[in-house]
Amino acid sequence: MSEALRPLRVAVIGGGPAGIYTADILTKSEEVRSGEVEVSIDIFDRYPAPFGLIRYGVAPDHPRIKGIITALHKVLDRGDIRFFGNVDYGTDLNLAELREHYDAIIFATGAIKDASLDIPGIGLEGSFGASDFVSWYDGHPDYPREWPLNAKEIAVIGNGNVALDVARVLSKHADDMLVTEIPDNVYEGLKSSPVTDVHVFGRRGPAQIKFTPLELRELSHSRDVDIVLYEEDFEFDEASDALVQENNQVKTMMKTLTTWLTDQEESEQTASRRLHLHFLQSPVEVLGEDGKVVGIKMERNELDGKGGVRGTGDYTEYPMQAIYRAVGYFGSELPEVPFDERRGIISNNEGRVTDENGEHIPGLYASGWIKRGPVGLIGHTKGDALETITHLLEDRENLYTATEPNADALTDYLDSKGIEYTTWEGWHKLDDHEKALGAAAKDAAGEPRARVKVVDREEMKKISRG
């Protein structure tokens, strides 16, 4: 095939929702469907298995959210997009090597680091980033198998969905997690936890929380866990009232919270574990003794009438033996790709990667959280990907940079470097293996489990590569 007639070769770096949605949207674009443009797309992921955030960033007791995997599975099952797992950009393949094989490269690597919380004592033993804990309980292949679960009283700092995920997993009885895909080491770790109280602290008022109604309702589904609310936290001003009236999600969550508060006042709480929801409190200092966390100092806030809060100068110290910060995610810099240190994203203009002068670097694009920052739910990724793909297709006359555009040349090159990559067919093998492990295991009710996740990278590779 002559160069003028060959398919447009596109590499997507990142096999999570952003990367798969981006590849899918490209295949469904008007230019491709009409035959005006032919494309050949390869997705690369540093992990042996696909799905990124869904596999390694969503709590295992979220079956409906994990149902997104079904949709992503259908995209890659079509066979018109190739998947290469266990290939790390910057280590296994650099930018120059990718440019030899692709006309355009789209970075969709997400944001997996914890945002910092710059307060005294945050580095004490017993202070953790939420994303590290999430990676542990989701069986991330690059994290230790053990986690120090020895605290009775735990603080979770943050008022978003990740904070609730972490608090729910910490407070839930391990046997009730067996219906999920949690790995055996995670079950054993949670089983040994002596936790009695988990406290979630939010800086703003209940009307300003960043949860979703689904996440909030799921808290009440935990067996033998009481939800504890504090009447003094339910402070409202005009801005709060407006939020409740104008936003149906906020209205739904306020109804849920006020119902719980009423129920709490009318009935005795007798569960062995408690999940406390605090509002209008900001962390000031993590308290320590002998280098270990022993408490947290919080400042009381008040609403400022404009949708924000201000400190009151009133402080409370809570005894805690562990602190988890869930104040947001932050993107990681990629080799040879311009990076905005302040925002934690690839430097870009609507998905076009830009240099230090703000000029588009031909053939380089970004999509998902590494493009816009860790904001919005998974569903927002589709609109984000569409913007990037629209610009890529607008630029297509200037994209022909590949010197080895044949699809087979890429696999030959990976083989020549000894890279033990996994494929979509390999994922099916691993998927079947994990389901078989689940069928052979039992949950707390004696029923077969849907899946038991394989954690070890080498084992994942061995199963995937047959």
295-343 pLDDT, tens digit per residue, is: 999 999 999 888 889 999 999 999 999 999 999 888 889 999 999 999 9
Which pLDDT belongs to residue 327? 92
Considering only residues 276 and 160, tell me which one the structure prediction assigns the higher pLDDT: 276
Which pLDDT belongs to residue 322? 98
Rounded to two decimals, the pTM is 0.92
Taking the C-alpha atoms of residue 262 and residue 267, their distance in angstroms, rounded to an integer, is 9
For 465, phi and psi rounded to 5 degrees?
A: -90, 0
The answer on pLDDT for 201 being more than 50 is yes
Which pLDDT belongs to residue 1? 40
Q: Residues 207, 250: contact at Cβ < 8 Å?
A: yes
The answer on pLDDT for 60 being more than 50 is yes
Q: Please compute the mean of the pLDDT values over residues 21-27 and round it to a whole number.
A: 97
Percent of the chain whose pLDDT exceeds 90: 75
253 residue type, one letter: M
The answer on pLDDT for 78 being more than 90 is yes
pLDDT digits (tens, 9 = 90+) for 381-408: 888 899 999 999 999 988 878 999 999 9
What is the assigned CATH class of domain 115-328?
alpha beta
Alpha helices, H only, 363-423: 369-372, 380-394, 407-416
Query: What are 288's strand-pairing partners?
Result: 293
Which pLDDT belongs to residue 383? 83
Which pLDDT belongs to residue 4? 53
- Which CATH fold would you assign to the domain 8-112+331-421? Rossmann fold (3.40.50)
Rg (CA), the chain: 24
The answer on pLDDT for 127 being more than 70 is yes
Per-residue confidence band for 357, with pLDDT thresholds at 50, 70 and 90: very high
For 185, phi and psi rounded to 5 degrees?
A: -65, -30
The DSSP call for residue 222 is S
128 residue type, one letter: F
Taking the C-alpha atoms of residue 108 and residue 15, their distance in angstroms, rounded to an integer, is 8
Q: Please compute the mean of the pLDDT values over residues 143-150 and round it to a whole number.
A: 94
Which pLDDT belongs to residue 215? 85
The whole-chain average pLDDT of the chain stands at: 93
pLDDT digits (tens, 9 = 90+) for 227-245: 999 999 988 888 888 888 8
Two structure tokens written together for 379: 């569903």
Matching CATH topology for 8-112+331-421 and 115-328?
no
User: Domain segments of the chain: what residues?
Assistant: 8-112+331-421, 115-328
Which pLDDT belongs to residue 378? 66
pLDDT digits (tens, 9 = 90+) for 109-120: 998 888 889 999
Which pLDDT belongs to residue 444? 85
Per-residue confidence band for 377, with pLDDT thresholds at 50, 70 and 90: low
pLDDT digits (tens, 9 = 90+) for 26-37: 999 999 999 999
Q: Residues 57, 396: contact at Cβ < 8 Å?
A: no
Which pLDDT belongs to residue 379? 65
Helices 68-77 and 424-440 pack at an angle, to 10 degrees, of 140
